[in-house]
Chain A
Amino acid sequence: MKRQIPLLLTFLAGAIPTIAFFVPQKHVGLVSTTLDSWLIIVAGFALLLGVVNVVQMNTNKIKRQASGWPYAIVLLAGLAIMGFFGVAGAFDKFGGIATRPDGSSTPFDWLYKYGFLPLQGTMFALLAFFMASASYRAFRARNTEATILLIAALLVMFGRIPFGEMVSKWFPLATEWIMGKPNMAAQRGIMIGAALGAASMALRVILGIERSYLGLGKGE
């Protein structure tokens, strides 16, 4: 039963929306829409699960004094402080989570604007430096394919900026052609492949062939 019930639930959760999509019957549709509502609620709990996981992992790291454990303290402190003001704000304490009507920031809003936002922005801004360094090292015309990639990259990078159009109107046109034709064709192939893979995996999970999500191997 420990195995059968989750497999049955998985089968029903997967099969009902699939059948409802093709069968325009009122009662089938009703069950499917109810499942959609449940999914929104379960997704919320999945977020909570993520928080519990992060707390567990970092607490263990601190206990074991593993490499980088002081950062785990900083992480948990940030989680606790923002979480506290976020939850309190949801119950209208401290003025909520947004800006107050008089324009002043609530604690959550202040932490978001002056802590979370600049830190997240900085993290992703660092990518610009890594990309510049990586592109210098990676974009070499070593063979035919690498040369085509190099030329396409240079055309797109130059065509995307105003300087490209100042030099020649053909640069932005070439950029749009690359994005709209070969890139689009390649993206379609990737998306179709990924979608077929996802459909195949979904079918395996629905039919109970793939059971790794239960912590079981194939055939267990």
Chain B
Amino acid sequence: MQIDRRIIYLFVAIGTILPIIFVIGLPVSITPPVQMAFDRIENQLQKGDIALVSFDYGPSSAPENAPMADAILRHCFSKGIKVVVIALYPLGGLSEAVNEVNKVVAEFPELKYGVDYVNLGYKDGAQAAMKKMAENIHEVFPTDMNGTPLDELPIMKNIRTYRDMKLVVSLATGIIGEWWANLVNAQFGIPVIVGPTAVSAPKYYAYLEAKQMAGLLGGLKGASEYERLVVNSYPKLAEVYATPGLYTATKGMDVQSIVHLIMIAFIVFGNIVYFTSKRKPRKAS
């Protein structure tokens, strides 16, 4: 029995729209890969340490990656970790970096640009840039995205290579996240956390298991788990996440949960009909 696909589309549309309007607030459970990522920042990095956050995604996966970026940035700033932001994704990576950093920094008025965080902008040739940053970041990014020479920025004065940083976090769509794990971590040893889209997340388990990654935030679920961990550890951030109208991964998971249930229901229904229709000719004979 073939269901008109428009009926399926209608159910998915209703399943998407209703949880946005009527927020359910489903609980979020924490999985080990996300816990590992959180523990790395919470327990292994100290106040004043430098984390490199690379925006390797664009608007197409922003609903998944942006909440991860926000949660990571809020965690780092709450802990006093300094953040160096770059973008390696050509289709909107820089704009995403600017928007998310500006959004989160507005919640921390005590932070100073150039001292506590910096945005170095976009650089082409992802792998080449990653490799070159191991020799001298100042050659790859001579200025920040506003054109200020790096030597004039206090945060960048003592940062030359990956050795001067404690962590790389890549929020990625596509293959760029893999390059951080299999090129930067493999060759230069800096711990890497990757926040890929849910579609890409399965392949990162190989890197996680091989200890080439220090943590993994897989898709919207991973982002919602990290939000939960951050709110539990820094209760002040609960107010931020409770802001009306603010899109968060936790809210998005309500939608994903309902749509998953709809898809499971259709799959089960389809199989029941398939087996029922297979049996019918036997009964007739």
Contact = CB atoms under 8 A, between A and B. Distances in A.
Partners in one complex: yes
Interface of A: 33, 36-37, 39-40, 42-44, 46-47, 97-99, 109, 112-113, 116-117, 120-121, 123-124, 128-129, 131-133, 135-137, 139-142, 150, 153-154, 157-158, 160-163, 165-166, 172, 176, 179-180, 183-184, 187-188, 190-191
B161 interface: no
B183 to A, nearest CB: 11
A140 B271 contact: yes
A190 to B, nearest CB: 8
Nearest to B261: A163
B80 interface: no
A120 B58 contact: yes
A137 B7 CA distance: 13
A140 B1 CA distance: 12
9 contacts: A40-B123, A99-B99, A99-B102, A117-B59, A117-B95, A160-B256, A161-B253, A165-B27, A187-B202
B266 A132 contact: yes
Nearest to A172: B29
Given A161-B261, A180-B209, A98 B98 contact: yes
Interface stretch (B8-16, B37-45, B70-78, B164-172): B8-16
Given A163-B261, A172-B29, A120 B206 contact: no
Contacts of A150: 267, 271
A44 B95 contact: no
B264 A43 contact: no
B257 interface: yes
B63 A141 contact: no
Nearest to B26: A162
A43 B128 contact: yes
B271 A179 contact: no
B5 interface: yes
B221 A112 contact: no
B139 interface: yes
A97 B26 contact: no
Interface string B148-171: 000000000000000000000000
A109 B96 CA distance: 10
Contact of B95 (A112, A166, A176, A180): A112
A97 B256 CA distance: 33
Nearest to A43: B125
A35 to B, nearest CB: 9
A33 B135 contact: yes
Contact of B206 (A40, A117, A187): A187
B8 A157 contact: no
A194 to B, nearest CB: 10
B179 interface: no
B32 interface: yes
Contact of A132 (B58, B60, B124, B263): B263
B124 A121 contact: no
Interface in B84-122: 90-92, 94-95, 98-99, 102
Interface in B257-276: 257, 259-264, 266-271, 274-275
